Amino acid sequence: MPPKQQARRGKAANDAALKALAKVCDDVRPGEPEEGVLGVVPGVVAAPATVAEAAEVMRVAAEHDLAVVPRGAETRLDWGTPPHRCDLLLDTARLDRVVEHAAGDLVVTVEAGLGTDRLAEVLAEKGQRLALDAPLPGSTVGGTIATAAAGPLRLRYGSPRDLVIGLTVVRADGRVARSGGKVVKNVAGYDLGRLFSGSYGTLGLIVEATFRLHPVPAARAYLTCAVPDGTRAHEVVQAVLHSPAAPSAVECAARDGALTLGVLLEGVDAGVAARIEQVSALMGDGTTVSETAPDGWGAYPDGTTLIDITAPPAAFPALLSTVGAGASLTWSAAGRGHLGLPGDRAPEQVAQTLSALRSLLDGRPHRGGAVVRYAPEAVRAEVDVWGPVPALSLMRRVKEQFDPGYRMSPGRFAGGL
């Protein structure tokens, strides 16, 4: 088909979809070039205001065979790979309510478009919190679950998949599905919370989530010290982890040629004070103590390329040697870290670093993986963003069960899912 005829047919399809969507949603408009998802411009943008409206939008999208890409606050929209197509960009900004806060049960149910910053403010009024770090301010609840984003606090509290106890999603055909419940003990039904955590919008649209909460600690102390090398950092981390101190988070950060170790202790005043003494003795001379987090705590390292690394804590010294000078690395004792590479590294140099990391983590003793979260287009063209995915065949079967037409964020996930 000639290009002009293709363009006319595409415009006609977009116009038809726009009219059909406008009948079920009062906020529908054509997509704009600046709203492109990694360069793929959406044909239509819809922003439903309720779960029922979101379900209707998804139903119409199925009827018109539209490829749907969910959008929250765009803090991680450049993660993953470009979608094969984006006929409908589904904006969750208006799904931003706190549905129910059962403070007595330490449980909250919220809509997916609610910002995690705003959620923290609401919970703090009752002396509670969702124990997830927010490396990117402004992130939404739905986006945080969809990308399985978490920081140093995962050492004690886990990641989104561990804190979600109930999830409501809209499937690709417009049907609403729910799992879990409003109390922590309710584990009946299909565990959508774990399944959708890290799914990048490829299985369905997350519209509501119920979380397990924790009290805001009465006392908090950040202990920080400089360490000479990765070996010493690993020794101190192991000593702290195997002590009675029970840290909430431990993070190593390599920035600007300096290596820093940070430990977070939480609890009641007297208990934290006693544990400060224990941990200070393990960390050594020069350890500082503060009630506020050190600069950069829990944040992604600087750089135009961000690589997410999964490996056992013992891998840290080898990781430092592999990434070399000039890179920024943050590493949690939970076995997860992030590497930031500067923009002056050529795409082939980034590819070499990524290859070296994957070789290091391919098998014993440091079995793990390295995934590129974001990078310039030239780098993306040079590397395999996701790398080897051992469970790809299982993931494909799950995808075909939830989205047999491959219309939900097609191509955004590993293996073209």
Please report, as a single letter, which amino acid is at residue 256. D
In a domain, 363, yes or no: yes
Q: pLDDT digit of tens for each residue in the chain (417 aa)? A: 443 433 444 566 667 888 899 999 999 999 999 999 999 999 999 999 999 999 999 999 999 999 999 999 999 999 999 999 999 999 999 999 999 999 999 999 999 999 999 999 999 999 999 999 877 888 999 999 999 999 999 999 999 999 999 999 999 999 999 987 654 443 344 588 889 999 999 999 999 999 999 999 999 999 999 999 989 999 999 999 999 999 999 999 998 888 999 999 999 999 999 999 999 999 999 999 999 999 889 999 999 999 999 988 888 889 888 887 777 999 999 999 999 998 888 999 999 999 999 999 987 788 889 999 999 999 999 999 999 888 888 899 999 999 999 999 999 998 888
Decide if 132 contacts 171 (C-beta within 8 A): no
Q: Is 408 inside a domain boundary?
A: no
Please check whether residues 194 and 234 belong to one and the same domain: no
Residues 102 and 209 in one domain: yes
C-alpha 279/C-alpha 201 separation (Å) is 41
Query: Same domain, yes or no, for 106 and 78?
Result: no
CATH number of domain containing 74: 3.30.43.10
Q: Which domain holds residue 125?
A: 98-215
Among 169, 186, 215, which residue terminates a domain?
A: 215
**Other CB atoms within 10 Å distance of the CB of residue 16:** 11
Do residues 142 and 205 both lie within one domain? yes
Shared domain check, 316 and 254: no
Residue 174 falls inside a structural domain: yes
| Cα 186 to Cα 166: distance, rounded to the nearest angstrom | 9
Residues 235, 204, single domain; the answer is no
Q: Which of 298, 92, 114, 75 is nearest to 210 (CA)?
A: 114
Same-domain pairing of 311 and 361: yes
**Assigned domain for 389 exists:** no
Q: Is residue 411 part of a domain?
A: no
Q: Are residues 321 and 279 in the same domain?
A: no
For residue 368, being part of any structural domain is answered with yes
3-class secondary structure per residue, 101-164: EEHHHCEEEEECCCEHHHHHHHHHCCCEECCCCCCCCCCEHHHHHHCCCCCCCHHHHCCHHHHE
- Is 398 among the domain residues? no
The domain tally of the chain equals 4
Point out the domain boundary residue: 246, 265, 290.
Answer: 290
- What residues does 70 pair with on adjacent strands? 90
| Contact indicator for 43, 87 with CB cutoff of 8 Å | yes
What is the pTM assigned to this prediction? 0.91
Q: Which CATH number fits the domain that encloses residue 321?
A: 3.30.70
**Residue 404: inside a domain:** no
Integer CA distances (angstroms), 197 to 103, 146, 151, 163, 247, in order: 24, 5, 15, 11, 25
Strand order, beta sheet including 98-102: 98-102, 107-111, 205-212, 164-170, 176-180
Q: For residues 374 and 305, is the Cβ–Cβ distance under 8 A?
A: yes
Between CA 14 and CA 146 the distance in angstroms is: 27
Do residues 211 and 226 share a domain? no
